[in-house]
Amino acid sequence: MGLVRGNGLCGRAHSYRWVFRRTATDRLVHGTTVATNALLERKGAKVALLTTEGHRDVIEMREGLKPDRYDLRSPPPEPLVPRERRFGVRERLKAGGEVIIALDDRSLDGAIAAVKDSGATSVAVCFLHSYLNPAHEITAVERLRRALPDINVSRSSDVLPQIKEYERVSTTVVNAYVEPVVRR
């Protein structure tokens, strides 16, 4: 309603009827800087990461990406998820999406308990090759939501379903970090 009223005021002030026509508009996108500010000011959610066992440090390794590849003294940026809130879950998919190791219920239960104990308010779930087969992520998210109904959950196969592990993990973590702030 505020948009329609503002549109009318703008149109009258500039002597034309409508700035945009509702019947001719397929999509209206409204952007704010809330997410950007939360990220830059480091005022996002307290995030935990569930990932394939053995891959919890991918967020710090960054595929070797840094401004000067040969500067070994350049300190890496502080990750949005500290190591103590990154939890490996026993499961594994092949690069083609086929299951090598089924999602281990006990391992997942342990990770969910660790998330709860960590005090995290948001969780990023990112398993290897889930962009091809999201079944393990879907199960993990369903179980997380049942066990911790008040926690925000971001699933990498929803956020960025494409190859490249670091990019998928980091994008999903950023989503988990800013989403609760944006929803407020």
Q: What is the pLDDT of residue 3?
A: 65
What does the pLDDT look like over 146-174, one tens digit per residue? Answer: 999 999 999 999 999 999 999 999 999 99
Q: Which helix (H) or strand (E) holds 10?
A: helix 2-13
Q: How confident is the model at residue 64, as a pLDDT?
A: 61
Residue 18 pLDDT:
52
Give me the pLDDT at residue 179, please: 96
With a cut of 50, which residues of the chain have pLDDT below it?
A: none
Given this model, what pLDDT does residue 21 score?
Answer: 60
Q: Which residue has the tokens 């998330």?
A: 115
Burial class (CB in 10 A: 0-12, 13-18, 19+), 66: middle
The CA angle 124-127-132, to the nearest 5 degrees, is 120
